[in-house]
Amino acid sequence: MGFFDSLAQWLGVRKKEVNVMVLGLDNSGKTTVINHFKPPETKNHDIVPTVGFNVEKFKSKSLAFTAFDMSGQGRYRNLWEQYYKECDGIIFVIDSSDKLRMVVAKDELDLLLQHSELKNRRIPVLFFANKMDVRDAVTSVKCSHLMGLENLSDKPWHICASNALTGEGLHEGVDWLTDQLKEVLERKKK
Amino acid sequence: MLSLKRDKKEEEEGGGNPFYNLEKSAVLQEARTLNDTPIDPRKCGHILTKLLYIINQGENIGQNEATKAFFAMTKLFQSNDPILRRLVYLGIKEMSKIAQDVIIVTSCLMKDMKGKEEFRGPAIRALCSVTDSTMLQSIQRYMDEAIMDKGPAVASAALVSALHLGKGSHEVVKRWVDAANAVATSENPMVEFHALCLLYHVLKNDKIALFKLVSKSRKFRSPYSYCLQIRIAAKLIEREDAGSNSELFDFIESCLRHKSEMVIYEAAQAIVQLKNTTAKDLAPAVSVLQLFCSSPKPTLRFAAVRTLNKVAIKHPAAVTACNLDLENLITDVNRSIATLAITTLLKTGNESSVDRLMKQISSFMSEISDEFKIVVVQGIRSLCSKFPRKHNVLMTFLAQMLRDEGGFDYKKEIVECIISTIEENPEAKEAGLAHLCEFIEDCEHTVLATKILHLLGREGPRTPTPSKYIRFIYNRVILENAAVRAAAVSAIAKFGAHCEDLMESCIVLLERCQLDSDDEVRDRATFYVNVLKQNQKPLSSAYILNGLQVSVVGLERALHQYTLEPTETEFDMKSVPLATQPLAEQKVRDVPGESASVKPSQDKVAASRQDVYQEQLAQVPELANLGTLFKSSRPLEVTESETEYYIQCVKHTFSNYIVFQFDCTNTLNDQLLENVTVDMEPAEGFEVSKSIPCVNLPYNKPGSTYTLVRLPSEPTQVTGTFACTLKFLVKDCDPQTGEPDDEGYDDEYVLEDVEVTVADHVQRVMKPNFAASWEEVGPENELEDTYSLSTMNTLEEAIKNIIQYIGLQPCERSDKVPEGKSSHTLYLAGVFRGGHDALVRAKLALDSSGVTMQLTVRSTDPNVSEVLATAVA
């Protein structure tokens, strides 16, 4: 198997694998976002609050993603850090209709960015301002302002409004992340 | 275990165990590579195997390290390699007990539970091991589904996991009863059995539901299900005390005709173990076991014989029918089966078959292990008491066994067997002693040698030819180690003290021992020589025959006290509390194996109980100056055990006072009692001088209150009845918090009367040579009277009552009446409060109107004689 692996890699047939973490507060739509990328036959129809984490795999146009879909419930958030070390990128999902808890999300984000494992790595962070279809949802610009993203200068980041139920905006975001990760991989090769 | 070790060794020789010599820290270090991406399933699998190996070797892994390894393991969920995944499940199950935050894998496992068929069962088991009570709610639905699943592996996994969860909290499993009920009729035998297990676990406290579960007559597919049914049924019968006429018994009996051997055996075993069964009920079970005895399968034969062996203890007659089959098993190639068969036969056989059986056993005695030899010895022991006339054959056999090789436990069992036979059967005494003498000639166990020497010293002088034992004993002095030599010296001294014609020779022998190299031996010899040379009966009997009668702990404490406070007066031996005689001797010895194991612990408790009380009383400042404690009675209940307050009374006798200790327990959780005292209405002559209250008595915490009573100045007035009332202040309190109200009210509670009897004033003392002591005390204060005890119908009953009233120690085994005799003499000895020796001789005769007794009391104090003589009246 090892031989074919390397052969496939060499020929460029096999997609490169990357690990990403999907983070965010509870009920922000992380599992739903990941569910959207899964092939139709394995899609899950009823989504329940995640306990602990889930591992899901999906593919974008040129990368194979392994997503660690972490639980956003308060009691499990301190377990996120166990998985920081191995991840190549972060998808941070924000419930843009939940203005009240936006500060909590900001706190969690700050903690995350200050964590010793991530602090000195130039790791791409993709933000989904999710639930854009909800009537009193804030715009992605407002959202990035509320999250204080303008101060985030040492990591590449991107925010896009999304609706995980319909899939609107998700591909745009993942395409950006793919590009960023590929750049990192290229740089590593050199 | 042994075979396991050997396997390991063999493995080592042939290439070695790859995991041998694994270091915990190295493995944990290696576990970090589980974090690497991309995952190498083979390497990770290998690491996980190592991890599992060290956990299963009992290695202790710290919580932090375990948690780290656990999180590294969780990352392996991204690989879909089936072998690796299964190892991960195993890892989760093992680590769930030691790591923190194991709940993190819940979602992953839940996904697998619904995913590929091959992962579902293991995922359920792993999930249930990480789940805590808060998560149960969310997995409940999935469990329900899993139990009802079509795949038997999934359903069984869910049922068994539910069973494990149920061990923590009963409430939880109740939810799955319906699902379990639905699959209990499953096509698959395994699912059916597991469902039944779960149902039983849930319903085990509900008698009616259990009854329904068992009596539902339906066909099971699994023999295990039948076995479980039988066990449940047996338990129900036991609980209900229902005899053989219950429906359940019929069910068990019908299982005897099942086609699976397992079920048949289970049913037979259940019937045999039921408590109140008649011989008729047993018959079918026994005949089934009898059939098994001739089965070609050794396991079945073993099971059958073992069960029959147990039945033989209770119902020897029922097993007699199998004697023929058992005889065939004696020659079985499997020694365990053969031994059990023989011991069973020994229990059921009659006197005539004993000789033949003993011959059979001796043919293979050398081939069985010590454990089974002990079983044989126990069988012989019970034979000895059953057929005293056969002691000749049995003794010879025991002696033969003593000569053979064997471990300490085995030899000890034989020696004890011989000793107990000697004590029970006077005819066997000479032969037994001779065998023991021979044994100590070549005995490597110091403990046994000293024990036997002590026995020789006690029994030897009273045989017709005491002189022949001295040679054996003196040989010990020449050949053995110090401990045995010391014991031998004591034994020789006893011969000298007891037999006047041997005294001269004994003194000569002892004088030689004065040159011994060991201090203890020399000291003993010098002491005995000096005592014997005085040639005074009382002196010899006090210092050689009777030995030390005070409690050792008490003596140590008294001597310590004496050295702390230097005084001019000499140390008074009388101030030391006497040793309480262990009551073990009165116990009936029907099952030799059991009583032997229980006895030592009981002796210890009995010997130290009084010392414990003494310590306890010394803690109470008001009671500290009463002198030494003479005797503490056994705790006596003065309330019914199920009432509001549970109170026990212990009487402590001092030289001029009696302290009544009331141990109280408050069983009402809504009351707090304060200032608890017992108000005693003293009998004539007695005077309550002080009472020490128990300050407070919260719910379920025992407390003690004491009442100090001065004894009457008239020395013959020692008995009386005290009416007692418990007085206290009640404060109502909250049952949950125990917070009491501020105000309370006085209340009282009438207790049963407490009686002070003669037995409270005497301490039991064992006099090995009663006749010598009797002469020594002399007839000055002798009192004699004749009583007719018309209420007693047997001598045993009379003896039991006399001992209870007078409270003295029966000597020389006189509390046992030989069978078929109509007259008997009982010797009792002890010390009366104040240190006066007291001896009682009661001659009993049985006639048509009851028991007639001539009671003779001798004592060093006239008042004591009077008190004792009136005790029975």
pLDDT given for residue B447 in this prediction: 87
CB atoms within 10 A of CB B567: 7
Q: What is the pLDDT of residue A176?
A: 92
Nearest to B106 among A19, A52, A83 (CB): A52
Query: What is the pLDDT confidence band of residue A38, given thresholds at 50, 70 and 90?
Result: confident
* A169 in Cβ contact with A162 (< 8 Å): yes
User: Which structure tokens are listed for B797?
Assistant: 């009953």
CA dihedral B245, B246, B251, B252 (to 10 degrees): -70
Residue B274: predicted pLDDT: 81
Candidates B42, B44, B75, B111, partner chain A, best to mutate (most A CBs within 10 A): B75
- Give pLDDT, residue B733: 78
**Nearest to residue B410, comparing CAs of B382, B377, B441?**
B377
Who among B37, B38, B104 is closest to A53 (CB)? B104
Assigned token pair, B485 = 């030599």
Angle (CA) B220-B224-B227 rounded to 5° is 95
Per-residue pLDDT at B280? 77
Give the model's confidence band at A128: pLDDT under 50 very low, under 70 low, under 90 confident, else very high. Answer: very high
- Does any CB of chain B come closer than 8 Å to the CB of residue A48? yes
Min Cα–Cα distance to chain B from A138, Å: 31
The residue of chain B nearest to residue A31, with distances taken between CA atoms, is B107
pLDDT for A76-127, tens place per residue?
A: 888 888 888 888 899 999 999 988 999 999 999 999 999 988 888 889 999 9
Copy the structure tokens of residue B734.
């909250």
C-alpha distance from B102 to closest chain A C-alpha (Å) = 9
Which residues are within 8 A (CB) of A160 and not within 5 positions of it... i.e. 6 or more apart?
A126, A127, A128, A129, A140, A169, A172, A173, A176
Q: Which two tokens stand for residue B179?
A: 């699902």
What would the two tokens of residue A154 be? 């040492």
Burial of B545 (0-12, 13-18, 19+ CB in 10 A): buried
Closest CA to B221 of B240, B257, B195, B247: B195
Give contacts of A66 with chain B, Cβ < 8 Å.
78
A54–B107: do the CB atoms touch at under 8 Å?
A: yes
Q: What is the mean pLDDT of residues A143-157?
A: 89
CB contact under 8 A, A51 and B78: no
Q: Tally A–B CB contacts below 8 A.
A: 48
Residues of A in contact with B78 (CB under 8 A): 19, 55, 57, 66, 68
Nearest Cα to Cα of residue B395 among B366, B379, B418, B378: B418
Among A57, A76, A86, the residue with its CB nearest the CB of B35 is A86
Contact B868, B782 (CB under 8 A): no
Mean pLDDT by 10 residues, chain B (873 residues): 47 61 83 80 89 87 87 86 90 87 85 83 88 77 84 88 79 78 83 88 80 73 87 84 73 85 89 78 85 87 87 77 79 80 77 74 73 78 76 80 81 86 80 84 84 85 81 83 87 83 84 85 88 77 70 76 74 64 38 37 48 73 74 80 79 83 81 83 80 81 84 79 85 74 81 83 77 78 81 80 80 74 82 81 81 84 81 69
Task: Identify the pLDDT of residue B558.
Answer: 76
Q: Give me the residues of A, 58-77, that contact B with CB < 8 A.
A: 66, 68, 71, 76
Question: What is the predicted pLDDT for the residue at A158?
Answer: 93
Chain centroid to CA A82: how far?
Answer: 16
B859 touches chain A (CB under 8 A): no
Q: What sign does the CA torsion over B108, B154, B143, B225 have?
A: negative
CB B686, CB B666: distance < 8 Å: no
Report the pLDDT value the prediction gives residue B599, as an integer from 0 to 100: 37
Instruction: Report which of B597, B595, B560, B593 is spatially closest to residue B576, judged by C-alpha positions.
Output: B560
Q: Are B395 and B425 in contact (CB under 8 A)?
A: no
Chain B residue with minimal CA distance to A76? B104
Return the pLDDT at A13: 55
Could you tell me the two tokens for A96?
Answer: 């843009």
| The residue to which tokens 């089966």 are assigned | B337
Peptide bond into B38 cis (omega under 30): yes
The runs of H, that is alpha helices, within B404-514 are 408-424, 429-441, 446-459, 467-479, 482-498, 500-513
- Cα gap B408→B447, rounded to integer Å: 10
For strands B783-789 and B762-764, give the pairing.
unpaired
B115/chain A closest Cα distance in angstroms: 10
Find chain A residues with C-beta within 8 A of B71's C-beta. 82-83
Q: Is the pLDDT of residue A184 over 50?
A: yes
pLDDT tens digits, one per residue of A6-24: 555 555 556 788 889 999 9
Query: What are the beta bridge partners of residue B307?
Result: none
> Residue B623 — left, alpha, or beta (φ > 0 → left; ψ -120 to 50 → alpha)?
alpha
pTM, rounded to two decimals: 0.56
Cα separation, B2 vs B85, in Å, equals: 34
Residue B134, chain A, CB below 8 Å: the answer is: no
User: For residue A159, what pLDDT is reported?
Assistant: 93
Higher pLDDT, A180 or B243: A180
Smallest Cα distance from A136 to chain B, Å: 31
Contacts of A19 in chain B (CB under 8 A): 37, 78
Q: Does the CB of B713 have a partner CB in chain A at under 8 Å?
A: no
Tell me, what's the pLDDT at B606? Answer: 43
Site of tokens 């590449």: A156
Paired tokens of B114: 């619904």
Task: Please give the residue of chain B at the shortest CA–CA distance from A44.
Answer: B111
Structure tokens at B295: 């089965």
Strand, helix or coil for residue B258: coil
Residues A80 and B334: their CA atoms lie apart, in Å, by 62
Give strand pairing partners of B660: B651, B707
Q: Looking at this protein, which amino acid is placed at residue B870?
A: T
Task: Report the half-sphere exposure of B206 (CA within 13 A, side-chain side).
Answer: 13
- Phi/psi of residue B703, each to 5°? -140, 165
Q: What is the rounded CA–CA span in Å between residue B793 and residue B805?
A: 17
Comparing CA positions, the residue from B268, B112, B260, B271 lying closest to residue B189 is: B260
CA–centroid distance for B115 within its chain: 54
Nearest chain B residue to A78 by CA distance is: B101
Q: Which residues contact residue B121 at a Cβ distance below 8 angstroms, ignoring those fewer than 6 apart?
A: B151, B153, B154, B156, B157
Q: Which of A66, A79, A86 sits opposite B101 (nearest CB)?
A: A79
**Which stretches within B38-116 are classed as H helix?**
41-56, 63-74, 82-95, 106-114
The radius of gyration computed from the CA coordinates of chain A, to the nearest angstrom, equals: 16
The DSSP output letter for A128 is E
